[in-house]
């Protein structure tokens, strides 16, 4: 039963216990329980103090986010917290585990707060497209001052109990039983004046230059938020706290929350929250990773110590795995010996650790991996080389070792074929830099066993990654969708756009970097190599714009042939101060190159509107997402959206490409794709996916219903 219980300890301390596993979210039943308990406390003359705690060592994870999807009913939070604060008996929050969002706001309505040393506190509402609207935006700055409240509320970051103590959010921290301590504390403060403990009655201490502090915060959230509304509203609520009396501040908090609450961004961010928890609980074999047997990996090897390999070594070691790091090239091995310990130390420092938990040994030979439980191969993207390594590993490693490849798109099954036990081969596609980026695509080959996949998924989680299980196809999910997106960007250049124009459109949408700036950063030669492998490139004075029966843009190949590989050569779609330069400047050479190219091919440039740039790039990408769902390469739209948000810079407040298509309207996306396909019949990626057509025909169900629709649709098509 989800509720809040009331009991009286030793005749005088009322104990209100939140009971709504797993995080004691403030659902309607819990709010009703607290409201009733407050009434009982008021009526009971024996009770002299009150303690509020959460069941199972977790104080409260905040408002029940699932309730936000429907009409809100039951006692509202704001008056409930006011009633607690107004009590004439001291109320103490016993914070164990977590006090987040509405949970911390509840605690701020209490007169005292005692926290366990392992507890995490924070107001993460901004990450859900909201603001702390249960009085948090008004009480917190009155408790800890405006600058610290701005930091916590606009970032939504979780803080430790010791930081909370330093900031003055909690009164005491204990390593022992926080509940027991809170009860003793409650008894000890009976009779002390409560007026100064009521945060709503305190003035808000603001710095003398309050306006400039707020303006600076606003500028910062604009820049960081890439179009997100909630951080801006948070600054607005804090401005009210700093400049208005409490009651008017609360009114402003309510107004701002009303604007955010029903916004598309709040829906997108709450969808992103739940998607992150849904993903990966799937495999093509039908098994679930969380109920398959997994192996706990204590010792692993990484083969190949280029940029990706070094990052993977660090990520493993930070997760407490001992690593054998192997590199056959002497120079690269020497570089890794120097760089990896430095990266590791920095990583450990960021986590507040003095020493990294995992031990690393370096080697130049594969024979040193014989004792490990799992291997991650991270060599150059070359199938023949990878196959040679896998066949060698199959003889060197002991039976049962899980063999993983950090490939960004090669066929896992071809690698598995090179071994004696294909069931133990899976893909682990990391994103650069591998010790920083959160996304991991775990690629299930047709013969990968549920156990091997589950082991990779769980290891990814230990490494702090958001692991998403995907099927085996060229480019898997992320890179397969990237192809039509980049292709459209190149076509737009041919038709008259500039790299800056395309990038500005995409950055205006919310990507941290447009496609051409991103390409310069990762190196134009990455895609060139893939196109060469696919037999698509051709050199010559007059390269054709049709390859393998479809439209092809040789522009990026020509850039590579001219040595313009991006930041590393100091020249790409932009120019940089030198090789390795970071600041992109528009390059008249590129302008001239594009003009010459268009003239040579008889292409008449036209003015291209931002709307067309966005529609062609984004809908081509999304359309491939529908094909991926139809092919069963991703379990559901949430998987694709998580991949794009965590791995490709899709703005989180837009949910992900599939969610965004739902928000735009599936019928509109279909109509636009039909329109662009009509104008570009030689571009197969613009041909609307048949799944998209079927969803539109079925009345465009909401994205949360697509899984159900797809599985019914599959059964139907098999009949
Ligand atoms: C850190 C965590 C809490 C725990 O992490 P972990 O241990 O890893 O576990 P998870 O896998 O993440 O979670 C376990 C399951 O619990 C579910 N969960 C977690 N938190 C919540 C929650 N808050 N609500 C519901 N469900 C939750 C999670 O989905 C998992 O479920 P499942 O196993 O997948 O099924 C971590 O979970 C975490 O970070 N949680 C979120 C914490 C958070 O963000 N809290 C803030 C919530 S928002 C809030 O508190 C807002 C407060 C102010 C509200 C003010 C009043 C609002 C109404 C007013 C409306 C007025 C406008 C009306 C306008 C009009 O229409 O007119």
pLDDT in tens, 376-405: 999 988 899 999 999 999 999 999 999 999
**39 Cα to the center of ligand 1, angstroms:** 27
Strands (E) in 287-418, as ranges, are 299-303, 322-326, 360-363, 374-377, 402-405
Q: List, in sequence order, every residue forming a beta bridge with 360; answer none if it has no partner.
A: 323
Residue 27 and residue 59 in one domain: yes
Residue 62 in contact with ligand 1 by CB distance below 6 A: yes
Residue 141 and residue 111 in one domain: yes
Number of domains present in the structure of the chain: 4
How distant, in Å, are the alpha carbons of 30, 77, 95, 258, 597 from that of 1?
A: 10, 20, 22, 31, 70
Q: How many residues does the chain have?
A: 719
- Residue nearest (by alpha carbon) to ligand 1 atom 65: 258
- Residue nearest (by alpha carbon) to ligand 1 atom 11: 277
Q: Which residue of 61, 101, 157 sits with most ligand 1 atoms within 8 Å of its CB, as the best mutation to test the pocket?
A: 61
Mean pLDDT of 526-543: 77
Tokens of 311: 């990052």
Confidence of residue 1 (pLDDT cuts 50, 70, 90): low
Looking at 125, 253, 441, 638, which residue is catalytic?
125
3-state helix, strand, coil in the chain (%, to 5): 55, 15, 35
pTM of the predicted structure, to 2 decimals: 0.95
Q: Which residue of 96, 100, 262, 652 sits with most ligand 1 atoms within 8 Å of its CB, as the best mutation to test the pocket?
A: 100
d(Cα 463, Cα 315) in Å, to the nearest integer? 6
Residue 156 in contact with ligand 1 by CB distance below 6 A: no
Confidence of residue 175 (pLDDT cuts 50, 70, 90): very high
Residues 598, 605 contacting (CB under 8 angstroms): yes
CATH number, domain with residue 685: 1.10.1040.10
Residues 463, 356 contacting (CB under 8 angstroms): no
Confidence of residue 285 (pLDDT cuts 50, 70, 90): low
| Domain's final residue, options 409, 435, 470 | 470
Tokens 């002299």 label which residue? 48
- Looking at the domain assignment, is residue 678 inside a domain? yes
- Looking at the domain assignment, is residue 444 inside a domain? yes
CATH number, domain with residue 440: 3.40.50.720
Residues 273, 100 contacting (CB under 8 angstroms): no
Confidence of residue 282 (pLDDT cuts 50, 70, 90): low
Residue 569 and residue 663 in one domain: no
Tokens of 544: 């054709």
Residue 131 in contact with ligand 1 by CB distance below 6 A: no
| CB-count exposure of residue 367 (10 Å: 0-12, 13-18, 19+) | exposed
Tokens of 535: 């037999």
Mean pLDDT of 34-63: 97
Residue 539 in contact with ligand 1 by CB distance below 6 A: no
- Looking at the domain assignment, is residue 284 inside a domain? no
- Looking at the domain assignment, is residue 481 inside a domain? no
CATH number, domain with residue 133: 3.90.226.10
- Looking at the domain assignment, is residue 280 inside a domain? no
Sign of CA dihedral 316, 317, 321, 322: positive
Tokens of 674: 């039909």
Residue 303 and residue 254 in one domain: no
Confidence of residue 333 (pLDDT cuts 50, 70, 90): very high
Residue 186 and residue 165 in one domain: yes
Tokens of 542: 């007059």
- Looking at the domain assignment, is residue 404 inside a domain? yes
**104 Cα to the center of ligand 1, angstroms:** 12
What is the pLDDT at residue 54? 98
Q: Are strands 299-303 and 374-377 parallel, antiparallel or unpaired?
A: parallel
Is 105 annotated in the active site?
Answer: yes
- Looking at the domain assignment, is residue 290 inside a domain? no
Mean pLDDT of 239-268: 97
Tokens 């003359």 label which residue? 45
On the question of a cis peptide bond just before residue 414, with omega within 30 degrees of 0, the verdict is no
Residue 449 and residue 347 in one domain: yes
This complex has an ipTM of: 0.98
pLDDT in tens, 613-632: 999 999 999 999 999 999 99
Residue 68 in contact with ligand 1 by CB distance below 6 A: no
Angle between helices 524-533 and 515-522 (to 10 degrees): 80
What is the pLDDT at residue 528? 87
3-state secondary structure of 407: coil
Tokens of 149: 């409240």
What secondary structure, in 3-state letters, does 62-119 show? CECHHHHHCCCCCCCHHHHHHHHHHCCCCEEEEECCEEECHHHHHHHHCCEEEEECCC
Mean pLDDT of 40-45: 95
Residue 72 in contact with ligand 1 by CB distance below 6 A: yes
How distant, in Å, are the alpha carbons of 159, 455, 601 from that of 126?
A: 15, 34, 50
d(Cα 444, Cα 472) in Å, to the nearest integer? 6
Confidence of residue 674 (pLDDT cuts 50, 70, 90): very high
Q: Is the pLDDT of residue 589 over 60?
A: yes
Residues 626, 618 contacting (CB under 8 angstroms): no
d(Cα 69, Cα 228) in Å, to the nearest integer? 20
Residue 128 in contact with ligand 1 by CB distance below 6 A: yes
Mean pLDDT of 544-571: 91
pLDDT in tens, 339-365: 999 999 998 888 877 777 778 999 999
Instruction: Give the rounded percent of residues in the chain with a pLDDT score beyond 90.
Output: 87
Q: Is the pLDDT of residue 160 over 70?
A: yes
Residues 317, 323 contacting (CB under 8 angstroms): yes
d(Cα 481, Cα 475) in Å, to the nearest integer? 8
Q: Is the pLDDT of residue 716 over 90?
A: no
pLDDT in tens, 473-523: 999 999 999 999 999 999 999 999 999 999 999 999 999 999 999 999 989
Residue 77 in contact with ligand 1 by CB distance below 6 A: yes
What is the pLDDT at residue 289? 59
**65 Cα to the center of ligand 1, angstroms:** 4
Tokens 């042939």 label which residue? 561
- Looking at the domain assignment, is residue 484 inside a domain? no
3-state secondary structure of 3: strand
**101 Cα to the center of ligand 1, angstroms:** 8
Confidence of residue 540 (pLDDT cuts 50, 70, 90): low
Residue 51 and residue 125 in one domain: yes
**Helix H or strand E encompassing 444:** strand 439-444
Taking alpha carbons only, the member of 615, 622, 620, 614 closest to residue 661 is 622
Residue 54 in contact with ligand 1 by CB distance below 6 A: no
438 Cβ neighbours under 8 A, 6+ residues apart = 464, 465, 466, 646, 647
Is 85 annotated in the active site?
Answer: no
d(Cα 707, Cα 695) in Å, to the nearest integer? 11
Residue 82 and residue 139 in one domain: yes
Residue 28 and residue 82 in one domain: yes
Would you list the DSSP string of 150-169? HHHHHH---EEHHHHHHHTS
Residue 156 alpha carbon, nearest atom of ligand 1: 44
pLDDT in tens, 630-645: 999 999 999 999 999 9
3-state secondary structure of 302: strand
| Domain's final residue, options 234, 262, 290 | 262
Confidence of residue 536 (pLDDT cuts 50, 70, 90): confident
Residue 150 and residue 190 in one domain: yes
Mean pLDDT of 185-202: 97
Residue 311 in contact with ligand 1 by CB distance below 6 A: no
What is the pLDDT at residue 355? 76
Residue 532 and residue 658 in one domain: no
**45 Cα to the center of ligand 1, angstroms:** 36
Q: Is the pLDDT of residue 715 over 70?
A: no
What is the pLDDT at residue 283? 56
d(Cα 635, Cα 445) in Å, to the nearest integer? 15
Confidence of residue 713 (pLDDT cuts 50, 70, 90): confident
**68 Cα to the center of ligand 1, angstroms:** 10
Residue 278 alpha carbon, nearest atom of ligand 1: 34
Mean pLDDT of 302-322: 95
| Domain's final residue, options 452, 470, 488 | 470
Tokens of 584: 């992109």
Would you list the DSSP string of 380-415? -S-HHHHHHHHHHHHHHSPTT-EEEE--SSS-HHHH
260 Cβ neighbours under 8 A, 6+ residues apart = 129, 130, 131, 229, 230, 233, 266
- Give the domain range for residue 394: 299-470
Residue 595 and residue 657 in one domain: no
What is the pLDDT at residue 287? 62
Taking alpha carbons only, the member of 566, 568, 557 closest to residue 528 is 557
**308 Cα to the center of ligand 1, angstroms:** 35
Q: Are strands 13-19 and 49-54 parallel, antiparallel or unpaired?
A: parallel
Residues 547, 536 contacting (CB under 8 angstroms): yes
What is the pLDDT at residue 107? 98
Mean pLDDT of 221-240: 96
Sign of CA dihedral 8, 9, 14, 20: negative
Tokens of 203: 């003035």
Residue 280 in contact with ligand 1 by CB distance below 6 A: no
Taking alpha carbons only, the member of 273, 306, 252, 27 closest to residue 132 is 252
Taking alpha carbons only, the member of 304, 315, 322 closest to residue 435 is 315
Q: Is the pLDDT of residue 545 over 90?
A: no
Residues 81, 105 contacting (CB under 8 angstroms): yes
Residue 559 in contact with ligand 1 by CB distance below 6 A: no
Residue 119 in contact with ligand 1 by CB distance below 6 A: no
Q: What is the CA radius of gyration of the chain?
A: 28
3-state secondary structure of 512: coil
Q: Which residue of 20, 21, 22, 262 sits with most ligand 1 atoms within 8 Å of its CB, as the best mutation to test the pocket?
A: 22
Looking at 85, 96, 105, 615, which residue is catalytic?
105
DSSP state of 125: G
What is the pLDDT at residue 288? 65
Q: Is the pLDDT of residue 128 over 90?
A: yes
536 or 620: which leads in pLDDT: 620
What's the mean pLDDT when you consider all of the chain? 94
């Amino acid at each position: 039963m989800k509720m809040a219980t009331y009991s009286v300890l030793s005749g005088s301390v009322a104990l209100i216990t939140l009971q709504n596993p797993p995080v004691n979210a403030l659902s309607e039943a819990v709010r009703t329980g607290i409201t009733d308990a407050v009434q009982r406390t008021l009526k009971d003359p024996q009770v002299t103090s009150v303690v509020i705690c959460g069941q199972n060592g977790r104080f409260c994870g905040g408002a029940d986010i699932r309730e936000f999807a429907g009409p809100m009913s039951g006692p509202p939070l704001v008056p409930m917290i006011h009633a607690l604060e107004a009590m004439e008996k001291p109320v103490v929050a016993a914070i164990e585990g977590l006090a987040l969002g509405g949970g911390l706001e509840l605690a701020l309505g209490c007169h005292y707060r005692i926290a366990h040393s392992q507890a995490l506190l924070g107001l993460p509402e901004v990450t859900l497209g909201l603001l702390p609207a249960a009085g948090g935006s008004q009480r917190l700055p009155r408790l800890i001052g405006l600058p610290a409240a701005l930091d916590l509320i606009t970032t939504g970051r979780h803080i430790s109990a010791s930081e909370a103590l330093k900031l003055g959010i909690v009164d005491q921290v204990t390593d022992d039983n926080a509940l027991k301590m809170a009860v003793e504390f409650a008894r000890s403060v009976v009779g002390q004046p409560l007026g100064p403990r009521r945060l709503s009655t305190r003035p808000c201490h603001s710095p003398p230059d309050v306006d400039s502090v707020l303006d600076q915060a606003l500028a910062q959230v604009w820049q960081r938020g890439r179009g997100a509304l909630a951080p801006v509203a948070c600054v607005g609520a804090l401005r009210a706290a700093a400049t208005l009396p409490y009651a008017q501040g609360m009114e402003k908090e309510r107004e701002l929350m009303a604007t955010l609450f029903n916004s598309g961004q709040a829906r997108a961010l709450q969808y992103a929250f739940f998607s992150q928890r849904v993903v990966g609980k799937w495999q093509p074999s039908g098994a679930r990773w969380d109920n398959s047997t997994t192996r706990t990996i204590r010792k692993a090897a990484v083969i190949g110590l280029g940029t990706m390999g070094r990052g993977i070594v660090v990520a493993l070691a930070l997760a407490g795995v001992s690593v054998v790091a192997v590199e056959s090239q002497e120079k690269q091995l020497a570089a890794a010996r120097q760089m990896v310990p430095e990266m590791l130390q920095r990583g450990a420092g960021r986590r507040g650790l003095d020493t990294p938990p995992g031990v690393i040994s370096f080697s130049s030979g594969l024979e040193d991996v014989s004792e490990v439980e799992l291997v991650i191969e991270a060599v150059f993207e070359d199938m023949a080389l990878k196959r040679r390594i896998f066949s060698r590993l199959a003889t060197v490693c002991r039976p049962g070792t899980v063999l993983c490849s950090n490939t960004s798109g090669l066929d896992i099954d071809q690698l598995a074929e090179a071994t004696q036990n294909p069931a133990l081969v899976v893909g682990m596609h990391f994103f650069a830099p591998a010790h920083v980026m959160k996304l991991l695509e775990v690629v299930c080959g047709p013969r990968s066993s549920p156990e091997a996949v589950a082991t990779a998924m769980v290891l990814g989680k230990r490494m702090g990654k958001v692991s998403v299980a995907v099927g085996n196809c060229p480019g898997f999910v992320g890179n397969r969708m990237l192809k039509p997106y980049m292709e459209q960007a190149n076509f737009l250049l041919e038709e008259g756009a500039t790299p800056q124009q395309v990038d500005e459109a995409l950055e205006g949408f919310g990507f941290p970097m447009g496609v051409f700036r991103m390409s310069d950063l990762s190196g134009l030669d990455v895609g060139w190599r893939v196109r060469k492998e696919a037999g698509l490139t051709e050199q010559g004075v007059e390269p054709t714009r049709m390859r393998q029966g479809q439209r092809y843009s040789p522009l990026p190949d020509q850039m590579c042939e001219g040595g313009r590989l991006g930041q590393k050569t100091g020249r790409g779609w932009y120019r940089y101060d030198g090789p390795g330069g970071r600041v992109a400047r528009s390059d008249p050479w590129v302008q001239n190159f594009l003009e010459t190219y268009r003239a040579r091919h008889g292409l008449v440039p036209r003015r291209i509107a931002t709307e067309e740039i966005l529609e062609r790039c984004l809908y081509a990408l999304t359309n491939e997402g529908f094909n991926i769902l139809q092919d069963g390469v991703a379990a559901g739209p949430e998987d694709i959206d998580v991949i794009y948000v965590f791995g490709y810079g899709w703005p989180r407040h837009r949910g992900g490409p599939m969610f965004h298509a739902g928000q735009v309207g599936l019928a509109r996306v279909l109509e636009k794709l039909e329109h662009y396909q009509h104008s570009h019949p030689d571009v197969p990626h613009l041909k609307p996916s048949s799944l998209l057509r079927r969803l539109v025909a079925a009345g465009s169900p909401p994205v949360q219903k697509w899984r159900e629709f797809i599985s019914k649709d599959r059964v139907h098509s098999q009949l």
